[in-house]
């Protein structure tokens, strides 16, 4: 203990770590009513860290060429010591990151965390989500299995549907006429270098802006209105040790569940590792049913839901526009929500019903996107797409006109 404090003092004389700890942790005050929904941010950070570390180790034995990529994954799984563990941590980590992010996002929508003054926190969070989607899409090509190949082929072909510039853009993205070793090489470079740097930088910005304005809370009460003589909000607790303890408990529970999946269900019943991805990529054989990874499934369902052309624009292009808009529209929530209150607890019935409709539509789309196309899946996807968009597009209307409950002055537990 004496040795430890001596080391800290030695460091502190050269770099102000005590002042840093005070400012960022022990004298950083968070609302005292933060609930379990507030642990998903730290879990997202943990998972991003897991992806970076396991990714570096995978890159040591992986070969990014069309001839050897698939075999190098087999080599990692069978011959590299603990290679199977590192790969499963990476594949399961990717799925877990999306689960955690969807809950993190839902929390934001429920408690109005995007409202003034946290608009920038929201925009940076959404940018991060968009970058993570592209990162996951590029990573999915690397095992060079049938689904990797055909998934990339379908999604990159969407560029080709853009009028005038489409065909050129499609070839530019692929670096070839079809998805090939050239595409694999560029996706690899972007996946392991460019996007990870971008993601770390965006997490830093996301958290810095949050630290500047402070956390919202489940009641959406502004805790900065009531402060003591030292300027500390009366309804707050120091982040360290109180909230850190809660985070550590959440991490322990999460790691337990994470290990259960890694050790007992590493393929996640075909959702984490798709069955057809156990076959090497074959450009001459198209699989009967091309699936998107489960976390893209709702967006894929919206792409497939558009089966008609309009104003001379073909269905494929319109599908892509709808799919892109479904992500872009989430960026605008801070300006679509006109409610005088933040939290869903004090909003009216319409907000509650539309949020429910949004969640149900998203889940229905996720199921539809994973099933083979049929008349029924197309119809259901079309209705669910309407449900998804109506939550956002009608928000300026229902959030302004509904009756809200009064928000308490102080937080209650
Ligand atoms: C890897 C991606 C992300 C990481 C590492 C991350 C990390 C965090 C952390 C650590 C917090 C503080 C703890 C908490 O409130 O849970 C936070 C808060 C927040 N995040 Fe994220 N986040 C990510 C993605 C997103 C996304 C996609 C959004 C959605 C737009 C988002 C929106 C927010 C908002 C609005 C807050 C403030 C919540 C409040 O105060 O009520 N974040 N984030």
Cα separation, 194 vs 192, whole angstroms: 7
> Is 14 inside any structural domain?
no
> Is 401 inside any structural domain?
yes
> Distance, CA 239 to ligand 1 centroid (Å)?
16
Residues 162 and 109 reside in one and the same domain? yes
Residues 343 and 260 reside in one and the same domain? no
Residues 181 and 319 reside in one and the same domain? no
206 within ligand 1 shell (Cβ under 6 A) = yes
- Residue owning the nearest CA to atom 23 of ligand 1: 125
| H helix intervals, 112-165 | 119-141, 146-157
214 within ligand 1 shell (Cβ under 6 A) = no
* Angle of helix 349-370 versus helix 83-111 axis, rounded to 10: 150
Q: How many helices (H) and strands (E) does the chain have?
A: 17, 2
Cα separation, 192 vs 135, whole angstroms: 9
Place of tokens 């707050």: 236
195-221 residue pLDDT tens: 999 999 999 999 999 999 999 999 999
> Is 376 inside any structural domain?
yes
43-53 residue pLDDT tens: 999 999 999 99
> Is 106 inside any structural domain?
yes
378 neighbors 307 (Cβ within 8 angstroms): yes
As given in the structure block, the two tokens for residue 291 are: 């699936």
Residues 310 and 287 reside in one and the same domain? no
40 within ligand 1 shell (Cβ under 6 A) = yes
Residues 77 and 45 reside in one and the same domain? yes
> Distance, CA 35 to ligand 1 centroid (Å)?
14
> Is 331 inside any structural domain?
yes
Residue 362 is part of which domain span? Answer: 304-413
Cα separation, 298 vs 248, whole angstroms: 32
Taken in order 226, 227, 233, 235, the sign of the CA dihedral is: negative
Q: Among residues 270, 291, 312, which one ends one of the domains? A: 291
85 neighbors 258 (Cβ within 8 angstroms): no
179-197 residue pLDDT tens: 999 999 999 999 999 999 9
- Residue owning the nearest CA to atom 3 of ligand 1: 44
Residues 57 and 192 reside in one and the same domain? yes
148 neighbors 154 (Cβ within 8 angstroms): no
98 within ligand 1 shell (Cβ under 6 A) = no
> Is 298 inside any structural domain?
no
Residues 110 and 204 reside in one and the same domain? yes
For residue 114, which atom of ligand 1 is closest to its CA? 35
**Tens of pLDDT, residue by residue, the chain (413 residues):** 789 999 999 999 999 999 999 999 999 999 999 999 999 999 999 999 999 999 999 999 999 999 999 999 999 999 999 999 999 999 999 999 999 999 999 999 999 999 999 999 999 999 999 999 999 999 999 999 999 999 999 999 999 999 999 999 999 999 999 999 999 999 999 999 999 999 999 999 999 999 999 999 999 999 999 999 999 999 999 999 999 999 999 999 999 999 999 999 999 999 999 999 999 999 999 998 888 999 999 999 999 999 999 988 999 999 999 999 999 999 999 999 999 999 999 999 999 999 999 999 999 999 999 999 999 999 999 999 999 999 999 999 999 999 999 999 999 87
For residue 214, which atom of ligand 1 is closest to its CA? 40
153 neighbors 140 (Cβ within 8 angstroms): no
């Amino acid at each position: 203990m004496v040795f430890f404090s001596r080391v800290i003092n030695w460091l502190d004389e050269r770099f102000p770590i005590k002042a840093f700890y005070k400012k960022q942790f022990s004298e950083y005050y968070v609302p005292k009513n933060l609930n379990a929904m507030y642990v998903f941010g730290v879990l997202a950070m943990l998972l991003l860290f897991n992806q970076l570390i396991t990714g570096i180790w995978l890159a040591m034995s992986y070969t990014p060429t069309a001839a050897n990529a698939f075999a190098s994954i087999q080599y990692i799984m069978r011959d590299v010591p603990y290679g199977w563990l590192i790969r499963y941590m990476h594949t399961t980590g990717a799925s877990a990151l999306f689960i955690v992010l969807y809950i993190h996002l839902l929390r934001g929508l429920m408690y109005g965390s995007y409202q003034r003054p946290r608009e920038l926190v929201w925009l940076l969070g959404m940018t991060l989500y968009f970058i993570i989607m592209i990162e996951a899409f590029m990573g999915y090509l690397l095992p060079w299995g049938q689904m990797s190949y055909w998934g990339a082929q379908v999604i990159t072909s969407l560029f080709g549907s853009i009028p005038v510039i489409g065909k050129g853009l499609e070839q530019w993205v692929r670096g070839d006429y079809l998805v090939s070793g050239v595409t694999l090489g560029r996706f690899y470079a972007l996946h392991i270098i460019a996007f990870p740097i971008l993601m770390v930088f965006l997490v830093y910005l996301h958290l810095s802006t949050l630290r500047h304005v402070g956390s919202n809370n489940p009641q959406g009460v502004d805790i900065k209105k009531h402060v003591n003589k030292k300027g500390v909000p009366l309804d707050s607790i120091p982040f360290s040790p109180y909230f850190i303890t809660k985070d550590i408990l959440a991490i322990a529970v999460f790691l337990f569940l994470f290990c259960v999946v890694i050790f007992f269900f590493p393929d996640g019943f075909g959702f984490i590792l798709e069955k057809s991805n156990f076959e090497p990529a074959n450009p001459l054989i198209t699989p009967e049913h091309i699936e998107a990874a489960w976390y893209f499934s709702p967006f894929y369902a919206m792409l497939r839901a558009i089966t008609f052309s309009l104003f001379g624009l073909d269905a494929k292009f319109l599908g892509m526009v709808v799919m892109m808009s479904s992500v872009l529209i989430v960026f605008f929530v801070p300006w679509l929500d006109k409610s005088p209150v933040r939290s869903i607890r004090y909003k009216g019935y319409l907000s509650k019903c539309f949020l429910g409709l949004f969640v149900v539509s998203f889940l229905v789309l996720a199921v539809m996107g994973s099933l083979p196309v049929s008349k029924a899946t197309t119809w259901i996807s079309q209705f669910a797409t309407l449900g998804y968009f109506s939550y956002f597009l009608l928000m300026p209307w229902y959030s302004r006109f509904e009756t809200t409950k009064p928000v308490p002055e102080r937080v209650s537990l």
